[in-house]
Structure 1
Amino acid sequence: MAQTRLPSHPDVAYPGAAAALELIKPITWFAPVWALLCGSVAAGGSASSSYPWLAVLGGAILAGPLVCGGSQAANDWFDRDVDAINQPDRPVPSGRVPGRWALWIAIGMAIAALLFGLGLGRGVFVATVLALALGWSYSAPPFRFKTEGWLGAAVTGVAYEGLAWLTGALIVGGEAVLSRPLMVPFAALYSLGALGIMVLNDFKAVEGDRQMGVNSLPVRLGVRRAALTACAVMAVPQMVVVALLALAGHPISAALIGALVIGQFALMRRLLRDPQRFAPWYNGTGVTLFVAGMMVAAVALRHGAGG
């Protein structure tokens, strides 16, 4: 793949604060921070037990700005050629983050994440290492999992949903919490559902991905089929969660999540009319219902589902 010149701007030697903040994309932090909070709620004990607020706040900083934000900077660096076609106004191709600054920022935040994770315990440190490895390998050579369709979406789903959920659980309950029957399965199911959400984010870059040989699902399957597949992948894991909660004796939680899934089906009808146009809209509506269901499931786990 042909490489562009290092991004530069005649008047910019260092990135400004606004450009650096845009590089690490604060809007993307919500998913891992929310998953971490869900995991921390799921691992909680009785209502009278102490909740480690400061440790959970540290975990939120770890999952959001440091792991996710730093990985976003790394991805923008390694994707600078594709972004020069799809979104040339981004900080790196526009030159507002010049030279190799995006790479240095990403490396610095990865080191900070490792130190944070180490301070929060062995299990959290292991989860941090895995999340960083997956987050970077999405765009970084030699892996560049984003070029492999489902694999790229799965990597981001695990990094920003499943591992974040388990990180929250580890902070509150320690490594023993992973032995609870539904803790890891729910993290895995919501990681799988998030895979469909990640596919929606590929619709904005179809033309550039096609030109640069990135085999995202919209490129590989076509926009319509990729949208249908994404909807199915988002819905099926949630229906499995509903079934597991019902079997575990939590019918109210199961019914609430089932109602949220029905709401998503209604919103998916509009998404499928024009996936490229309505994917951002669905991210603000249907995905909101998806993440609300995550917290319902977390509360059910806190109150003994699968225990």
Structure 2
Amino acid sequence: MSDALIHTPHSWPEPRAMLRLIKPITWFPPIWAFLCGAVSSGVPLGANWGTVVLGMVLAGPIVCGMSQAANDWCDRHVDAVNEPDRPIPSGRIPGRWGLWIALAMTALSLAVGWLLGPWGFGATVVGVIAAWAYSAEPIRLKRSGWWGPGLVGLSYEGLPWFTGAAVLLGTAPRFETVVIAGLYAFGAHGIMTLNDFKALEGDRQHGVRSLPVVLGPEVAAKIACTVMGMAQALVVALLLIWCAPWHALAVAALLAAQVAAMRVLFRDPKGKAPWYNGTGVVLYVTGMMISAFAIRGLA
């Protein structure tokens, strides 16, 4: 789709459209993961509240918002099919304003990341590269149903968790923190796969080989749930090994509730995917914080 197709009589983007472009609803996962990392560090949060708040703002509204703007710009052709009412294909953000917003927020991300010291800045650089690698040509990892969700899971869950701990510690987090953050990032691959269900038709037309497109909704849903379940089962096992039985029991109970929700999902994967994202994912992220407190206890 040429840029001419997204022009409107307006020369300036609508403020509400700009807010929708950076999708506040998507900010929660990286904010929560950064907070999990801060908790798992063992460092008193009250004495470092300014750093924690700045890190949460960076992870959510700034870096995640930037990634959403970049994705919507690079996906304007697909969105014209799937969701033509989105800010760019609808023309409420005209011309190349979507690209300019994404680039401006990229610069802002790096500037704020610099304020968090070497660990914060390094993680921000990685996050910015990942965001553009996911969406932009010629790399566009979004085209792969395996690499795309994996990169998003790492960027939304693993990287912010690692950063939250590293920034407060001023050094690399302990082994347990890295492993648990990695497992929850791995499990988030399943969450991102379920998120792809809403774009089935546009993905088919534009060569995005998401797992729902390649394997069908039924198989993709089973793979997504298996990945989420395996990650949390390993978390439970590690917490038991690390002598945190009550935390392990709590995560196991949350996993059992997710399994019950998964059974509902399997009856109608495409129709129930949004419902599962509002129920099973809440249980998933609750287990993240419980695990963070378990690691904090080990410290």
Instruction: Calculate the TM-score normalised by the size of structure 2.
Output: 0.97
CA contact under 8 A between 1:7 and 1:92: conserved in structure 2?
no
Separation in structure 1 between the aligned mates of residue 296 and residue 196 of structure 2, nearest angstrom: 35
Counterparts of 1:172-211 in structure 2, within 5 Å, are: 172-176=168-172, 178=173, 180-211=174-205
Aligned-pair CA distance for 1:145:
0.4
Structure-1 separation of matches of 2:242 and 2:42: 18
**Which residue pairs with 2:219 in the alignment?**
225
Deviations 1:215-261 (A, max 9, x none): 01101111100000000011101100000000000000000000000
Aligned match of 2:67: 71
Alignment partner of 1:152 is 2:145: no
1:118 to 106, 114, 121: 114
Computed over aligned residues only, the root mean square deviation of the Cα atoms, in angstroms, reads: 1.2
Residue type matched to 1:295 in 2? M
Q: Which whole-Å CA distance do the structure 1 matches of 2:69 and 2:279 have between them? A: 26
In the other structure, the counterpart of 1:163 is: 159
C-alpha contact (below 8 Å) 1:7/1:98 kept by paired residues: no
* 1:131 corresponds to 2:127: yes
What is the deviation of 1:167?
Answer: 1.2
Question: What is the aligned counterpart of 1:27 among 7, 25, 46?
Answer: 25
Could you tell me which runs of 5 or more consecutive residues in structure 2 were left unpaired when the two chains were aligned: none
- Structure 2 counterpart of 1:216, one-letter code: S
CA-CA distance at 1:181 after TM superposition: 2.3
Q: Does 1:213 align with 2:207?
A: yes
Alignment partner, residue 61 of structure 1: 57
Aligned-pair CA distance for 1:274: 1.1
What is the count of residue pairs matched by the alignment? Answer: 299
The equivalent residue for 2:81 is 85
Matching of residue 277 in structure 1 with residue 271 in structure 2: yes
Q: Supply the distance in 1 between the matched residues of 2:253 and 2:2 (Cα, whole angstroms).
A: 49
Length-normalised TM-score, structure 1: 0.95
Please tell me whether the aligned partners of residues 44 and 51 of structure 1 are also in contact (alpha carbons under 8 angstroms).
no
Q: Deviations over 1:18-58 (max 9, x none)?
A: 0000000000000000000000000024x6x7541111110
Q: Percent identity?
A: 53
TM-superposed CA distance for 1:276, in Å, is: 1.3
After the TM superposition, which of the residue ranges 135-144 and 9-18 deviates more from structure 2? 9-18
Secondary structure of 2:209 counterpart: coil
1:266 alignment partner, one of 260, 269, 274: 260
Match of residue 15, structure 2, among 14, 17, 30 = 17
